[in-house]
Amino acid sequence: MRKISFSDAINEALREEMRRDPRVIVTGEDVAGGATIRGFERRDAWGGVFGVTRELVSEFGRDRVIDTPISESAYLGAAIGAATQGYRTVTEIQFLDFIGVCLDQVVNQAAKLHYARGSKGSGIPLVIRAMVGAGVRAGGTQSQSFYSAMAHFPGIKVVAPANPADAKGLMLASIRDQDPVFFMEHKGLYETSGEVPEGEHLVPLGRASVVREGEDVTVVAIARMVQVAERAADLLKAEGIGVEIVDPRTIAPLDYATISASVAKTGRLVVVDEDTPRCSVASDIVGLVASRDFDALRSAPSMVTAPHTPVPAAPELEDAYTPDADQVMAAIRKVVA
C-alpha cells in the first residue's frame, strides 16, 4: 500500500468528501491563505498554517474554502448555524489553545442546540479542526493538549488520531457524523507517514484500536503518545514484558469496552497522555477501570502524563515536560513488578 503523511491523509479526506458532497465547506484562518487577494482567487498561498488544507481552494474555489477574520466566535457560530441549513463545515481554529476565545460557541451552542430542540432536532453536523501537542518550542499558549476539557461536555465528540490511516478514516467519519466533532491534530504527527488506503476508508467514531497485543500490561495511549508507547513496548520485549497498546482514537464517546477487555486480559494498566494530569483523559480512564474493573486489576494503575504546569518553550524544558519512552517503561516495570 502507498504511504502518505498524516497531513496529506487529512488533506485527502477533505478533498474526497468535498468532491462527494457539495455541501461540505472549509472555513478558518488562512485555510486558503492569500486567496482573498485580488488576482489570487484560485491560487493557493498557505492552505492553513501547516498546509493541511493546501490546494483545496484551487479545486473548489473561494465559495467552499473560505478564509475568515481572526474572529473564532463569529466563524464558529456561522458554522453551527450553517449546520442547521444542510451545510457541513470543517472549520479550523488552528491551535486548540485558541478555543478560550470562542468556548461558548462550542459548549453552550454547538453542544446543546440539538438537545434543546427536543424531538425536532436534526443534529449539528460540524467538524472543528484543532492542533494539539508540544514539541515546536512555542510556549504555553500554542502547545496544549487539553482535549479532556472538550470531552467534558455532553453533545460534543472528540477524536484524536495517532496515524495517517486513522487520520483519514476518522476525518471521513467525522464529516459524515450528525454531531459536532472536535478533530485533534497533533503537530508532531503531521510529517509522519504510514500506509493509507485510497478512496473510501471510514474509521467509525467511538471505536478504539488495539495497536499491538500483549499479555502483561495494557497501555492506553493517545495521539502522539501511541508512538512513544510503541517504542517503550519494543524496548521492553528484551525484558520479556508483553505490552498491549490500546489507542482510543475517539476520546468522546470513549470505547471503554475495548479498554475493559484488554485490562481483563492483562490485569494491569498504564495510561500515557501528553495532557496535564488533573481532570484529564488519563485520570478518567484510570477512574473508569478502578470503578468498573477493580477485580481484574493485579496492581494499581499508573498514569504517565505531562506535569501540572504550563508548556514551557525552551527545548530542554519542553522535552522534560513531554512524556517519553523512558517514563513509560518505568511505569510499566512498576505495574508488572
Q: Which residues bind other proteins (CB under 8 A)?
A: 25, 63, 68-69, 71, 73-87, 104-105, 108-109, 113-124, 154-155, 157, 173, 177-179, 204-207, 250, 252-257, 288
Least distance CB 116 / other proteins (angstroms): 4
- Phi, psi at 65, each rounded to 5°: -125, 100
Contact call for residues 235 and 325 (beta carbons, < 8 A): yes
Contact call for residues 202 and 173 (beta carbons, < 8 A): yes
Q: Of 104 and 215, which CB lies nearer to other proteins in the complex structure?
A: 104
Least distance CB 104 / other proteins (angstroms): 5
For 179, the grid coordinates are: 454531531
Contacts of 198 (CB under 8 A, 6+ apart): 2
Q: Of 124 and 336, which CB lies nearer to other proteins in the complex structure?
A: 124
Fill in the amino acid letter for 277. P
Q: Of 7 and 109, which CB lies nearer to other proteins in the complex structure?
A: 109
For 275, the grid coordinates are: 495532557
Fill in the amino acid letter for 316. E
Q: What would the DSSP string read from start to end of 191-220?
A: T-EEE--SS-----TT--EEEE--SSEEEE
Per DSSP bridges, beta strands 3-5 and 193-195 are antiparallel
Q: Of 155 and 164, which CB lies nearer to other proteins in the complex structure?
A: 155
Least distance CB 57 / other proteins (angstroms): 15
Q: Of 58 and 73, which CB lies nearer to other proteins in the complex structure?
A: 73
Least distance CB 337 / other proteins (angstroms): 31
Q: Of 264 and 317, which CB lies nearer to other proteins in the complex structure?
A: 264
Least distance CB 68 / other proteins (angstroms): 7
Contact call for residues 291 and 274 (beta carbons, < 8 A): no
Give the C-alpha separation, 270 to 328, whole Å.
8
Give the C-alpha separation, 74 to 93, whole Å.
12
Give the C-alpha separation, 19 to 13, whole Å.
10
Least distance CB 333 / other proteins (angstroms): 30
Q: Of 83 and 270, which CB lies nearer to other proteins in the complex structure?
A: 83
Q: Of 157 and 268, which CB lies nearer to other proteins in the complex structure?
A: 157
Give the C-alpha separation, 136 to 134, whole Å.
6
Least distance CB 111 / other proteins (angstroms): 9
Least distance CB 77 / other proteins (angstroms): 2
As a whole number of Å, the end-to-end CA separation of the chain is 40
What are the angstrom distances between the C-alpha of 257 and each of 1, 262, 263, 322? 30, 9, 10, 28
